[in-house]
Each structure stands twice: as structure tokens, then as C-alpha cells.
Structure 1
Amino acid sequence: MRKVVVYELLSLDGVAEKPDEFFTAWDEAMDANLAAVIAAQDAVVLGRHSYTEWAQFWPSSPIEPFATFINDVPKYVATSTPLDQQWANATAIEGGLVEFVRELKTRRGGDVGVHASISVARALLAADLVDELRLVVAPAIVGRGRRLLDGLPAMRLEPTRGVTSPTGHLLVDYRVVR
């Protein structure tokens, strides 16, 4: 069975919204971490807001290796309305998100990634469909904004990796314990 892997950029106080405002440095360890995450993924689930923003940015972005990955990978978008922006390999999810991802996990293939989509990550965590959290935590307290883990039920996590990058970012991975 495929794994669902949530990859998020967070502040130390858990804010996931607008990470470009508090991620002020990026280094090679963070690049290598992202490259390892996406190397195992062959599908991505996005929320509508992330899709709309990313469909404007990534098709012409020179930021590698993520640009090539996200432009080529099949993207499934959680939305109740038709997609108004064209982007290669993007499909609106028909029916419910949870049911779709539950079925997607049974298909053959690599990991299913959830990137940047706070509401999608929360819904899948609440439905017990997430297998791993791969987090990059900035050395910053933001104090405002949507937090990734707010409103979720209690769950146990097992740390599988934790390192500090040269610029002081924490690269932490957790497995959801069932």
C-alpha cells in the first residue's frame, strides 16, 4: 500500500501559512531533504488555494529539483469547482477528498505527497490517512497565521529522523503510529 507523506514548512510555533514570510534562508541540507522526499513520490494532492497559487508560479520557475517534479507529477486537487487555471497533469478530485485518497493509497505506485495545503493535510491527518510527516521547522516564532496541527485529534508519532541544517532549520520526520 502506498504511503501518504505530508511535507510542510513551519515556524517553531507551528504556523504553516505563508512560509515565504519566515523562511529567510535556504541551504543545501534543505535542498537534499526536499529532493529525497520528492524522489519517492509519484502523485501529489493539493488544496484549491495552493493549486491556484502554484499553477501561476511553478510552470516557469527555475527552482530545481522541485519545479521539474511538481510540473510533471500527477496532481489531484481537492476542490468543489472546476479548475480555472491550466497546469499539466492536474485533475480535480471528483467526490470526497478522504474517499479519493483512501482509494489512491490502494493503487500501485510511490508515495503520495501533500505539499503546502494546510486544510488537505489536516483533513487527511484527521481521517488517519497520513503515514508520515516530513517537516522543515524555521528558527522563527511567527505568532499569527494558520497552524498545521490545530484542531486535530490526539495521535502518536514516532520520530524517524531529526537533524539541524547549517542555517538552523530543523529537518524532522515522523511516522504516524496506528
Structure 2
Amino acid sequence: MPSRREQIVAVALRLYRANGVAGTTLKDVAEAAGVPLGNMYYYFKTRDDLVRAALDACEAELLDLLARLSPLPSRAWFEAYFDWLLADPGGAAQFGCPFGTLAGELRALGDPAAARAGRTVGLYLDALRQRTVLLGLPPSAGDDLFAAVQGAYTVARALNDPEFFRQSVARLRAGAPQFGGARA
């Protein structure tokens, strides 16, 4: 069972993804987590502390995914990756990439945590590049896949149409047999 602090971070991350960091106050997080606002300061002295904790959780989420996929041969790795995308962790099809959305907003806000968030997105991109190379493809194939997925996230969020994301990923999967087979 997650600790109270971990529960608060999970709520904050969900709110950041849905409303943005700038659109989410400590009061919003406290209310959604069922914690009195005064108690929030026991867990997080500042808003920046909570944002850093959310980044920690975001990075842990990515590292967990990569660790689960790591033992798989590359074609199976990509199949599992597409499965993960289609499972839509955290409502990403509605709110955007679970990693890129937060990184992009922090950069737009000029937040010092933006560089750290960007490194997490870099880990994601590097994993795709490494796996494409193992398939005998150039690293740019990983870049192209990453860009296509990020574009699908962006359009789905703009249209508030999670089905757009799912259909886009299904087409990517079917149209990219080099990544693991042409499964619809």
C-alpha cells in the first residue's frame, strides 16, 4: 500500500497531467487527495518540492516500464511497448504523454525542474533508439516512432479525443512491421 506521501504525489501527477502545473495549486492537490491543506506542508514544504516529487514519480514510472520491457527480445519489446501505449496509463490519450506533457509545461514556465524533466524524456527516446538499432534500423527510426507517438498524444489532447490516440497507435503498430509485426 502506498504511503500517504506517495498517494499525494500520485494525485498531484494526475492533476498536473490534466490541468497543468500552472493550473494546479497545492489546495487543489490537497482537496483531491483528501488531505487538509495545512497537512500538505508536512509532506511538501513548497510547490517546487511537490513538483520534484512528481518528477521522481514520473521517472520511476518510466524506469519501471523500461525494466519490465528490458529482458524482451527487440520485436517482443516493441509489441509490449505498443501494448503499454494502448493500455493508456494515466489517461495519457486524454492528457498527453505522461512524460513529455510535464516536461514541456515546465520548460514553457521557465521552471528550473524543466531540465530534469527533459532528461526523463531523453531516457524514453534513448530506449526507442537503442531498440531500433538492435533491430538493424538506424536510430532515426526510433526518433520517427517517438515523434509519431508524441504527435498522436498532442492531437488527441487538443481534440479531447482519446480514441484518436488509440487509433493512431494501432495504425503505427500495423504500419511498422519492422518493430514487431503487423498486428492491428
- TM-score range (shorter-chain normalised) is under 0.3
State the structure with more CA Rg: 2
Q: What TM-score, normalized to structure 2?
A: 0.26
Q: Which has the higher helix share?
A: 2
**Looking at both structures, which has the greater relative contact order when contacts are Cα pairs under 8 Å and sequence separation is at least 6?**
1
Q: Which has the higher strand share?
A: 1
Q: What TM-score, normalized to structure 1?
A: 0.27
